[in-house]
């Protein structure tokens, strides 16, 4: 069997949902930022999945959100010098092409069995009002990944079934037309930390802003949410306090981390120390948010356009080469 070469070491996509909160950073953004520093894993390529956003009921302000999310990621530590960043819709021709070629290798019922779609259909829609694009979501993800000949795709648990489909489609393609596309691997990131809402109701989420630390909010608003946040009675550990501690340790410097550990010990021994903990948390959070907002405000739209243009060139070149090979394998070689 021919040995197929990978082109991109680490490849992942982010949805341009806009308005990140601290739980998004801890549960998701931070893993990509950390991966970029691990040289043994290789150079990452990150893209903003604006075409996938079209599967949302009503995508709004897509372009603004795309620019915002790139700024967020860079302000949170993604370094455009150490990775390539591009916008998915710049590759619309190549993605559409590969989507079509891959679509004949998977059945409608296989797509309807994908857990994410099944869940959506169970929760708030029916097959009769699910768009074809929504059903094609995993095929489009496979196209993103396979066009770049990606080696590792780091994703959370919720996306793993989609990567399995990309692997399945690569194998099926190679079986049908000869070895062409290297099969990508899932880079498991483990269970993401689940951070609770500060107001105690469910997980921290944009849909419940009173319990969420939104990175772009005026800092005083976030600090007042911390003041009101649920904790635990002396001597007890609750999910709320556990989440608050995770947030605290994430934004704290080394000294503050030690202090938090020491406060927790006193708390578990029955001490009344939650006020003290919130004080440390507020100081650390204030510094974290200030630093983020300052970094973000220094990034201009034109700088972002330049970054994604550079990344886009590399991604486009890779995608064009893959499409060419795919067409050759399928014996569609009318254009050279
Ligand atoms: P969402 O904005 O809900 O689409 O979430 C984007 C990503 O952020 C998800 O893939 C999760 O990994 C992460 N995330 C969202 N909410 C939380 C939370 N409350 N705790 C931890 N991670 C979260
Ligand atoms: N569907 C992913 C999410 O919701 C984003 C995404 C799109 C992606 N294409 C991808 C992730 C390819 C990894 C690889 O988070």
**Predicted TM-score (pTM) of this structure:** 0.91
User: 103-112: per-residue pLDDT in tens?
Assistant: 999 999 999 9
- Centroid of ligand 2 to alpha carbon of 31 (angstroms): 14
At residue 124, the pLDDT reads 78
Q: Which of 6-20, 117-131, 211-225 has the highest mean pLDDT?
A: 211-225
Q: CA dihedral defined by 135, 136, 142, 148, rounded to 10 degrees? A: -150
The CATH class, in words, for 209-296 is mainly alpha
From CA 90, how far away is CA 51, in angstroms rounded? 10
User: What mean pLDDT comes out for the span 4-24?
Assistant: 91
| Partners of residue 85 on adjacent β-strands | 46
Task: Name the more confident of 37 and 100.
Answer: 100
Closest ligand 2 atom, CA of 140? 9
State whether the beta carbon of 27 lies less than 6 angstroms from ligand 1: yes
At residue 2, the pLDDT reads 66
State whether the beta carbon of 197 lies less than 6 angstroms from ligand 2: no
- Can you tell me whether residue 167 is helix, strand or coil? helix
Fold of 8-194+301-329: Rossmann fold (3.40.50)
Cα–Cα nearest to 315, from 115, 126, 5, 45: 45
At residue 84, the pLDDT reads 96
Tell me the pLDDT band of 1, cut-offs 50, 70 and 90: low
Helices (H), the chain: 22-24, 30-37, 62-75, 92-103, 108-112, 115-123, 132-135, 137-147, 160-177, 219-228, 239-251, 254-268, 274-297, 301-329
From CA 124, how far away is CA 18, in angstroms rounded? 22
Which of 139, 159, 167 has the most ligand 2 atoms within 8 A of CB, as the residue to mutate?
159
User: 246-266: per-residue pLDDT in tens?
Assistant: 999 999 999 999 999 999 999
Cα–Cα nearest to 276, from 259, 288, 289: 259
Task: Name the more confident of 24 and 87.
Answer: 87
State whether the beta carbon of 246 lies less than 6 angstroms from ligand 1: no
Residue 335 has pLDDT above 70, yes or no: no
Quote the mean pLDDT of the chain.
93
Which of 136, 155, 160, 165 has the most ligand 2 atoms within 8 A of CB, as the residue to mutate?
155
Domain residue spans of the chain? 8-194+301-329, 209-296
Closest ligand 1 atom, CA of 20? 2
Number of neighbours of residue 250 by Cβ within 10 angstroms: 18
State whether the beta carbon of 222 lies less than 6 angstroms from ligand 2: no
State whether the beta carbon of 150 lies less than 6 angstroms from ligand 2: no
User: 300-322: per-residue pLDDT in tens?
Assistant: 999 999 999 999 999 999 999 99
Q: How many angstroms from the chain centroid is the CA of residue 244?
A: 22
From CA 8, how far away is CA 54, in angstroms rounded? 26
At residue 18, the pLDDT reads 73
User: 28-67: per-residue pLDDT in tens?
Assistant: 888 888 888 887 778 899 999 999 988 877 778 888 999 9
- Centroid of ligand 1 to alpha carbon of 211 (angstroms): 14
At residue 321, the pLDDT reads 98
DSSP state of 109: H
Q: Are domains 8-194+301-329 and 209-296 of this chain identical in fold?
A: no
Which of 27, 205, 245 has the most ligand 1 atoms within 8 A of CB, as the residue to mutate?
27
User: What mean pLDDT comes out for the span 195-224?
Assistant: 94
At residue 96, the pLDDT reads 98
From CA 274, how far away is CA 231, in angstroms rounded? 7
Closest ligand 2 atom, CA of 49? 7
Tell me the pLDDT band of 180, cut-offs 50, 70 and 90: very high
């Amino acid at each position: 069997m021919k040995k197929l070469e990978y082109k991109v070491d680490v490849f992942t996509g982010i949805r341009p949902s806009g308005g990140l909160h601290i739980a998004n950073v801890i549960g998701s953004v931070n893993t990509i930022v950390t991966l970029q520093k691990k040289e043994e894993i290789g150079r990452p390529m990150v893209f903003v999945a604006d075409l996938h956003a079209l599967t949302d009921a009503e995508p709004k302000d897509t372009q603004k959100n795309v620019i915002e999310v790139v700024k967020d990621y860079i302000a949170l530590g993604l370094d455009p010098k150490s990775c390539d960043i591009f916008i998915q819709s710049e590759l619309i021709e190549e993605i559409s092409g590969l989507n079509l070629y891959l679509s004949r290798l998977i059945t409608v019922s296989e797509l309807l069995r994908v857990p994410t779609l099944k869940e959506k259909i169970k929760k708030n829609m029916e097959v009769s009002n699910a768009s074809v694009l929504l059903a094609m979501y995993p095929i489009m993800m496979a196209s993103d990944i396979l066009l770049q000949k990606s080696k590792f795709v780091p994703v959370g648990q919720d996306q793993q079934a989609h990567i399995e489909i990309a692997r399945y489609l690569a194998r099926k393609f190679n079986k049908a037309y000869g070895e062409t596309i290297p099969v990508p691997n899932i880079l498991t990131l483990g269970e993401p930390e689940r951070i609770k809402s500060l107001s105690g109701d469910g997980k921290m989420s944009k849909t419940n802003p009173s319990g969420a630390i939104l990175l772009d909010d005026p800092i005083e608003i976030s600090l007042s949410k911390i003041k009101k946040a649920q904790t635990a009675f002396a001597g007890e550990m609750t999910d709320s306090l556990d989440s608050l501690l995770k947030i605290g340790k994430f934004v704290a410097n080394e000294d503050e981390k030690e202090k938090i550990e020491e406060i927790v010990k006193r708390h578990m021994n029955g001490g009344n120390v939650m006020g003290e903990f919130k004080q440390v948390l507020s100081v650390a959070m204030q510094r974290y948010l200030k630093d983020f907002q300052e970094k973000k405000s220094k990034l201009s739209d034109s700088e972002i356009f330049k970054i994604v243009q550079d990344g886009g060139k590399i991604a486009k070149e890779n995608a064009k080469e893959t499409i060419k090979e795919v067409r050759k394998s399928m014996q569609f070689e009318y254009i050279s």
